[in-house]
Amino acid sequence: DAMVIQNPRYQVTQFGKPVTLSCSQTLNHNVMYWYQQKSSQAPKLLFHYYDKDFNNEADTPDNFQSRRPNTSFCFLDIRSPGLGDAAMYLCATSTRVYNEQFFGPGTRLTVL
Amino acid sequence: AQSVTQLDSQVPVFEEAPVELRCNYSSSVSVYLFWYVQYPNQGLQLLLKYLSGSTLVKGINGFEAEFNKSQTSFHLRKPSVHISDTAEYFCAVSDSGGYQKVTFGTGTKLQVIP
């Protein structure tokens, strides 16, 4: 089945230690998103790729970076995680037109 | 820019009772509307969507929603809930026509009581 896959599902890192979360998709969608979701809150868009074009949200901290080496893969790099970065990170994809988003299962990040 | 309001942060309901989760949006243009469900420690899953056409939209798991343009609402309903419907539900909106960002509501936690 076509899907969005996120690895790992759970990630524990230490304060200040860089961490990379990965996302892959078999849907061949042009758009890929990274969201941060804290407990009992709506997903907060960090950035997205429209094909190869990178779009950063204005309030996304510089500590967060992203890479999309090809259509199928997208990575979220947190250069120096702080305690406030502990959250669920959701990857999603969509087609160009209708904006229905297909989400992966998420990676829960814990910062010690 | 559009916005979404989910007035109820939590909705408790007894099993086999009907439920309505409210969603209101604001936008100056035509919109697409979505309802997503999120189970604990999972990603979001699309329940249903309104793009155009019939204002009554049927989705998965027996849910349906009605688009009401005059009231700018897109309330989610189910005639009889099950324990397995316990989850968080997010309403979302995007402007129609081409690529547009999606705005999510703050979510409603549905607690089904046995």
Q: Does B35 touch chain A (CB under 8 A)?
A: no
* Bridging pattern class, strands B108-113 and B102-104: unpaired
| C-beta separation of B64 from B48 below 8 A | yes
Contact A40 B98 (CB under 8 A): no
Contact A101 B107 (CB under 8 A): no
Average pLDDT over residues A88-102: 86
H or E element that contains B68: strand B64-68
- The encoded tokens of residue A81 equal 């995680």
Confidence of residue B38 (pLDDT cuts 50, 70, 90): very high
| C-beta separation of B70 from B18 below 8 A | no
- Rounded-to-integer distance, Cα A54 and Cα A50, Å: 7
CB neighbour list of residue B81: distance below 8 Å, 6 or more residues apart: B13, B15, B16, B17, B18, B19, B110, B112
pLDDT tens profile A28-82: 999 999 999 998 888 999 999 989 999 999 899 999 999 999 999 999 999 999 9
**Which residues are A16's β-sheet partners?**
none
pLDDT at A98: 61
Chain B nearest-CA residue for A101: B46
